[in-house]
Structure formats: C-alpha cells, structure tokens
C-alpha cells in the first residue's frame, strides 16, 4: 500500500466533485505503475455503469490486454458498491485499498462482505479506512452543497 496512490485517487475524486458528481476516484496499480484510473461520471454520462472503479478496470484491461488483472492493486476513495466489488472479483484484482466506509452500499464489510460469500472464483485482500478523513470530507462537502442547492431552489 502506497499512500501516494490514494492521494492520486483523491485527485480523481475531486474531478468528479467539480463535475457535480458524487466524488469518488480510483486508480489501479501494477508493478508500481498506474495502469488505470477512474472517477464517477454517472450523471454526466447518464450511465449507471460509470462508477470510478468500472472506468479504471476497463482502462486497465485495455492497457494490459487481458481480463485477468492479477498482480494489480486497486485504490478507491469509497468502499465499493455490490457492482464494483463484483467487478473487482471478476477481474481477479489482488488487493483493494479503500478510503471511507459506505454504510449505504459498501460491499466489502458495510452492508455485506463479498469476500465472505462462499464459492466465488476469487477473493481479493481488502483494507479500508485509508486516508479516510480526506475521502469522507469531500463526500460530506458534496452532499452539503447539494442540500444547499436544493433548498435554494425551493426558496425561489
């Protein structure tokens, strides 16, 4: 685990923030090289699959020319949802480092833990709470801004 990669993931999360998207960023690293990155673009792309992790996995598979992302580590600022946690398992990613826990849909420990489901093809190593405060802060700020916008609209 290298903190600089989580810092990079946070930079991508900031990119989502500036696009008025729920701020989540992700990087995938193999042999100390970034092979994929992503940031949440669900609203701007109007596509439910455009989470940060999915964009990063897609890029890494294209770069490495294989669906098997063995030897890869994934850094993401928020605990993956069921879709992204499932994609990480499909991609055979070795290790996952995430920032903030997600009590609403986090699937590596919060609402469930996919690594505890028996019979799957692969189980990545998981470590949560990396740069937790910075990851959380960005999300809290985003939702605060959203609420302000909503209440301003209401008062027009």
- Site residues (vs a copy of itself, CB under 8 A): 42-43, 45-51, 54, 57-58, 61-62, 65-69, 81-87, 89-92, 103-105, 107, 111-112, 114, 117-121
**Least distance CB 113 / a copy of itself (angstroms):** 11
- Please identify, using beta-carbon distances, which residue of 105 and 134 lies nearer to a copy of itself: 105
**Least distance CB 29 / a copy of itself (angstroms):** 17
Question: Listing from the earlier edge strand, what are the strands of the sheet with 25-30?
Answer: 33-39, 25-30, 72-78, 95-100, 125-127
- The catalytic residue among 53, 133, 137, 141 is 53
d(CA 15, CA 1): 23
- Please identify, using beta-carbon distances, which residue of 120 and 140 lies nearer to a copy of itself: 120
**Least distance CB 81 / a copy of itself (angstroms):** 6
- Please identify, using beta-carbon distances, which residue of 34 and 64 lies nearer to a copy of itself: 64
In the numeric block, which tokens belong to residue 75? 């850094």
Residue 125 bears catalytic tag: no
Single out the residue of 45, 63, 50, 57 nearest to residue 24, CA to CA.
50
In terms of DSSP bridges, do strands 25-30 and 72-78 run parallel, antiparallel, or are they unpaired?
antiparallel
Number of helices (H) and strands (E) in the chain: give both, helices first: 5, 5
């Amino acid at each position: 685990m290298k903190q600089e990669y989580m810092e990079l993931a946070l930079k991508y999360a900031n990119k989502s923030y500036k696009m008025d998207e729920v701020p989540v960023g992700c990087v995938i690293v193999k042999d100390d090289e970034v092979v994929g990155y992503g940031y949440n673009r669900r609203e701007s792309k109007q596509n439910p699959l455009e989470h940060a992790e999915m964009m990063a996995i897609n890029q890494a598979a294209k770069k490495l020319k294989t669906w098997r992302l063995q030897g890869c580590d994934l850094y993401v600022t928020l605990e993956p949802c069921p879709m992204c946690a499932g994609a990480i398992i499909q991609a055979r990613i070795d290790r996952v480092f995430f920032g903030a826990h997600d009590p609403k849909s986090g699937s590596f420990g919060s609402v469930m833990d996919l690594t505890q489901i028996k019979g799957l093809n692969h189980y990545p190593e998981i470590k949560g709470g990396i740069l937790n405060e910075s990851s959380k802060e960005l999300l809290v700020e985003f939702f605060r801004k959203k609420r302000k916008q909503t209440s301003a609209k209401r008062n027009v």
